Structure 1
Amino acid sequence: MNGKWGMHYVGWKTLCKTKANGGLNFHLTFSRSGSLKARLSWRFLQNHDSLLYQVISAKYGNNLWDVKSRKGSSIAWKILLEGA
């Protein structure tokens, strides 16, 4: 074999570099997760007709932001609290 076939492993840091620097211009998800959670929370507050809003408000009541995260809280609720 001449080294052209097979799997070629590349580090994640290399893939996240810009294309001009030899990467594929990927973004690290944890660096953008705060803004994504904030956007989800904003959409949640703006769209009261959504299924997510109806389910969360039925489970946690009308004072949505006064409820503390507790054992058994849904993952969606925890993400909304972090985004807010």
Structure 2
Amino acid sequence: MKRSMKIHWINWNKLCTLKKKGGMGFQDFHAFNLAMLAKQAWRLIHKNGSLFYMVYKARYFPNTSFLDVELGSNPSLVWRSLLVARDIIHAGSRWKIGDGRKISVATHSWLPHSPVFLNAPSMDMKVYDLIDEET
């Protein structure tokens, strides 16, 4: 009777684990790709004068900011990928309130949890309106 050789598959997470920790040390290309996309999304947030920003602003978010834009109709694969990266940045970011004049109480995610209001806030109310400058 002849024995057949079988392939013993290994979990991808195990392959990507460092060699020192018993893995094969492979690079996680999905995580690497997301990191590179997040770097480009970061540039769309902070480098408003670049050609890259101006082209994407004109095409995909002419009337809003990159942080607030929706997917839209007929998006390219690159644009979809940048929005996934934007969501990763958004999940790991925290607000710096400053004086609160530009941050809407009702529409911006300026707290780490959903705010609880006793009364419905007006849509144009800013965080500045909640700050008592004397105390």
Which category describes the TM-score, using the shorter chain as reference length? 0.5 to 0.7
Q: CA deviation at 1:63?
A: 0.5
The Cα shift of 1:19 comes to 5.1
Tell which has more relative contact order, 1 or 2 (C-alpha 8 A, sep 6+): 1
Quick one: which amino acid aligns to residue 67 of structure 1? V
In structure 2, the gaps of 5 or more residues are 1-9, 87-135
* Greater fraction helix: 1
Counting only pairs closer than 5 Å after superposition, residues 1-84 of structure 1 correspond to structure 2 as 16=16, 18=18, 23=24, 25-60=25-60, 61-65=62-66, 66-84=68-86
- Please give the per-residue CA displacement for 1:7-38, whole angstroms capped at 9, x wherever unaligned: xxxx9x59746456684x33111134433332
TM-score by length of 1: 0.56
The sequence identity of aligned pairs, in percent, is: 29
The letter of the residue matching 1:72 is: N
TM superposition score normalised by structure 2: 0.40
**CA distance change for structure 1 residues 34 and 81 in 2, over 3 Å: closer, same or farther?**
same
For structure 1, the residue ranges without an aligned partner over 5 or more in a row are: 1-10
- Highest CA radius of gyration, 1 or 2? 2
